[in-house]
Structure 1
């Protein structure tokens, strides 16, 4: 059955096709009536959908991560395309599904990003850091998890392989910027860029709809990342019979725990080393630019110069390059 992907939907388009149910909420309007607020997805993106005059049975018959068949019509509301549904049901006929329509993992892009990371880690001059990188890169289970992990549930790099892309881009940026400053230990900075978000492998569920795991919600990727570093160091020490430099370990831990930059943004410590300050700002730059570019690409306002007002950043964005 032919279907229109999310990124090709237009205003006023009638829909009779499958989606994956990314999220579901049941809400009550001002008149006391219930409605469903949903997120529908495929490999090209996610779109909000609403079913008015719903009841609890409409909510309970569909589950997050499942395929659903929808009837409805698209419309633009405040510059954003959405779907007003007239019907939604769990999909029972799996022949209606082409897995290629919903698999957003790009194996070629993952191979390229992983190759860049391997080259950078393999080029480190610091023996301890290079050997630590080898511990991670020899772990096939870890590499398979890294290949498909997302860097976020929403906002930047929120797709399978997004963490790998973000990590590779950040390491390449640090490789270019770090040598410009005499006091920066570039090897330390690069290993910090590799390590900083690895905990997201276990923080965010890799299958179906992106969501936080129990461990992710209870512990968080920063603490998980420090734990992963400790496990890798213990493995390296067992393999070599030599202790890992304690100060170097402390510096790596600081890079992980401070990379969000501010206490209110989740960092247990503020960046206190030159490498940590640089890592935070480059990480923030990559995340912000990726998020802003996504806002521009998904904007549906008729204004060719400006996006619709973006509440999350408190401004419109200039669209013309």
Structure 2
């Protein structure tokens, strides 16, 4: 059976009802109350491309059925879908659990998303192979060897941008491409430090925004909730650094310049400061050129990803004007298309050319 992906459903659903079938995994549910005091459930469903919330009202059959579904249940939802500024809505919905080949096909994920993430992973490995500083190179290799599989399952966020299995790989790969180009424009930047800083800036999200080995439901961990990804990232890098410093590969590091301890401190600073402001969770402010560059590269990729999603999901208020999507600051305007050369018009043949 062919299913819509969640991202495709968000792109195509609008004010007019769209009849579509999707396959998705129940990620979580929470019980709420209406203003009249009636209970309802907020169900979060996910697949390889993203997630969405669906309200199950107390007088609807889905309310009772969802109470008996454990988290991680994979279902087929057949409905007439609409979408407004608050998200997707479903009318005349029916459902059934997926089994057999349909279930295995669901777990295999969306082919286009999987191919993009494979390409992004190759980008990360290629750019890391170009790092010349042996300390940073060894640290990155140790991380990839030990935690690469976990890294490739993690999301970059719980919502707003790259909030899907493998989203962290997409986010880091695009940031690395940008960082590489920025270093070409600003050659005084320490390229090795910036590239490895991009790799590690969100490494705490391996615990804060992690997925199981099979499935698309993003879970919660005590470490992620109680510490957050910045302290976790600092702790992880310190642990990996000690591992590498005690290994045979570190025997020749003592005479290297800049000193090894200074390199470690600058890398930790990139992780600690990448949110840019105290109010956004950074325990310190960016204090080096690489820290400033990393902060803005991170913010740029997140904002452009949000805008891409917003254009595909927002309702059109007027010709070329789209309704505001949280957390972007204002209504969106359709971007200006790239200039295209006009087609060449063949000149009519002269009388001399007719014979």
TM-score (norm 2): 0.78
Structure with the larger RCO, 1 or 2 (CA within 8 Å, 6+ apart): 2
2:168 pairs, out of 163, 168, 181, with 163
Q: Given the alignment of the two structures, is residue 67 of structure 1 paired with residue 74 of structure 2, yes or no?
A: yes
Pairing of 1:303-318 with structure 2 (within 5 A)? 303=318, 305-318=320-333
Q: CA deviation at 1:180?
A: 2.8
Name 1:196's counterpart in structure 2. Answer: 201
State the secondary structure of the residue aligned to 1:97: helix
1:26 lines up with 2:31 in the alignment: yes
Equivalent position SS for 1:236: helix
Aligned residue among 267, 273, 294 for 1:279: 294
2:153–2:210 contact (8 Å) kept in structure 1 = no
Q: Is the partner of 1:20 in helix, strand or coil?
A: strand
Equivalent residues of 2:194, 2:294 under 8 A apart = yes
Mean Cα displacement is larger for which, 54-63 or 245-254? 54-63
Contact 1:5 1:101 in 2 (8 A): no
CA contact (8 A) 1:148 1:206 kept: yes
Does the C-alpha gap of structure 1 residues 285 and 14 become closer, same or farther in structure 2, counting only changes over 3 Å? closer
**3-state SS of the aligned residue for 1:292?**
helix
For residues 118 and 2 of structure 2, what CA distance do their matches in structure 1 show?
30
How far apart in 1 are the matches of 2:83 and 2:118? Answer: 38
2:284 is paired with a residue whose SS is: coil
- Tell me the CA shift for residue 297 of structure 1: 1.6
Give 1:80-229 correspondences, 5 Å limit. 80-84=87-91, 91=97, 94-95=99-100, 97-101=102-106, 103-104=109-110, 106-137=113-144, 139=145, 141-181=146-186, 183-207=188-212, 208-229=216-237
Deviations 1:212-247 (A, max 9, x none): 322111121111211221122122212234567111
Which residue pairs with 1:254 in the alignment? 269
- Give 5+ residue unaligned stretches, structure 1: none
Larger radius of gyration: 2
Give, in angstroms, the shift of residue 110 of structure 1: 3.1
TM-score scaled by length of structure 1: 0.86
RMSD: 2.8
The 2-side partners of 1:311 and 1:12 are apart by 23
The answer on whether the counterparts of 1:195 and 1:225 sit within 8 Å (CA) in structure 2 is yes
Q: Give me the whole-angstrom Cα distance separating, in 2, the residues matched to 1:25 and 1:85.
A: 22
Consecutive unaligned residues in structure 2, runs of 5 or more: 338-355
Give the superposition deviation at 1:144. Answer: 1.3
Aligned-partner Cα distance in 2 for 1:17–1:162: 21
Q: State whether residues 78 and 93 of structure 2, in contact with CA within 8 Å, keep that contact through their aligned partners in structure 1.
A: yes
Pair 1:304–1:62, CA change in 2 (3 A): farther
> For the structure 1 residues 233 and 25, does the alpha-carbon distance in structure 2 shift closer, same or farther, using more than 3 Å as the test?
same
- Residue 57 (structure 1) shift: 4.9
